[in-house]
Amino acid sequence: MTRLAFFGFLITFIPQVMSQSPLIVAHRGYSHLAPENSLSAFERAIEIGAPFLELDVQRSANGTPIVIHDESLERTTSCSELGRTDGYTDQELQSVRIGYPSKFGLDFQHESLPTLSQALELAKGRIGVCVEIKVAGIESAIIADIAKWNMEKEVVIFSFLPEVLRSIHSLAPDLKLLFLKSKARSEDLNECLALHATALGVGGKTQLDHAFLKEAAEKNIEIWRWTVDDVREMQRLKSLGIHAIITNRPDLGLTLHLE
Ligand code: G3P
Ligand code: CA
């Protein structure tokens, strides 16, 4: 490469690379604008150009991975079904509507409860997907869904549950893993290494400072922070050099790339 071509490369590509940092992850989709964990929230995250969305996975009675945060259906559903998600088969769950009426009124009254497979199909080739596994026992089914859509390189597996990450690693060692901790400490970085997780997702109770991020970098562990919707806090995290910000307001997060 000539010197001129090299400088051309730097001018063209370095700003693009820099502008992607930190990575912005739409928490439960663009959940500020549409019901959390709905296909509408995922579509809106794609529309504004978020590089990743995050979703939560529970299970149906017959072991199908279902996209919903809570164990129970009450909070976000707008129909008469009550009780636990795993109390119904995937066939029965098809009629559940997740318009989150206490937050969005009737605006999304026809929104259906997605399976993981449906969410992956929508995302494929358009946005990366952080799959947070809320319960143990469906790891094989989740890996099968990812394989069905050939999305091994487009997903990151999240979990608070070490046994889930161990199971995923033993079944699909090439999948990227992120270990979640509400109040992360130095020893959790070592737990990441033991779990083959290359990222630690930390909650708001974590003391995030230069020393913690330096130690993580020395151990080659990315730090992802959830859930940050305040722009000033996003800017502080960016200046610390955090890898990713998980937010209900990906619109605000993406403005960091313009600074
Ligand atoms: O991305 C991590 C975060 O989603 C974990 O907390 O309760 O929102 O699933 P929660
Ligand atoms: Ca989650």
- Each residue's pLDDT tens digit, 161-192: 999 999 999 999 999 999 999 999 999 999 99
Residues catalogued as catalytic: 27, 69
**Who lines ligand 1 at CB under 6 A?**
27, 54, 56, 69, 132, 158, 180, 201, 226, 246
The domain locations on the chain are 23-258
19 pLDDT above the threshold of 70: no
Q: How far is CA 80 from the centre of its chain?
A: 29
- Please determine, for residue 101, whether its predicted confidence score (pLDDT) is greater than 90: yes
What the block records as the tokens of 228 is: 């940050």
pLDDT of residue 17: 43
Residue 206, number of CB atoms within 10 A of its CB: 18
Q: Are 107 and 99 in contact (CB under 8 A)?
A: yes
27 or 8: which carries more pLDDT confidence?
27
Cα(15) to centroid of ligand 1, in Å? 31
Residue 230, SS3 per DSSP: coil
Answer yes or no: are the C-beta atoms of 155 and 176 closer than 8 Å.
yes
pLDDT on residue 1: 55
> Domain 23-258: which topology?
TIM Barrel (3.20.20)
Position 69 scores a pLDDT of: 98
Nearest CA to ligand 1 atom 7: 69
Q: What is the pTM of this model?
A: 0.92
CA–CA separation, 138 and 143 (whole Å): 9
Instruction: Give the confidence band of 60 by pLDDT, cuts at 50, 70, 90.
Output: very high
Task: Please report where in the chains the tokens 């400490």 appear, as a residue.
Answer: 185
Mean pLDDT of the chain: 93
Give residue 59's pLDDT: 98
Alpha-carbon span 159 to 170, nearest angstrom? 15
Q: How confident is the model at residue 81, as a pLDDT?
A: 62
Percent of the chain surpassing pLDDT 70 = 92
pLDDT computed for residue 16 by the predictor: 46
Name residues whose C-beta falls within 8 Å of residue 61's C-beta, 6 or more positions apart in sequence. Answer: 86, 87, 88, 89, 92
Do residues 195 and 166 touch, judged by C-beta distance below 8 A? yes
pLDDT at 8: 55
What type of residue sits at position 259?
E
Instruction: Please say whether the beta carbons of 41 and 30 come within 8 A.
Output: yes
Using the atom order of ligand 1, give the atom closest to the CA of residue 130.
Answer: 1
Mean pLDDT within 119-143: 98
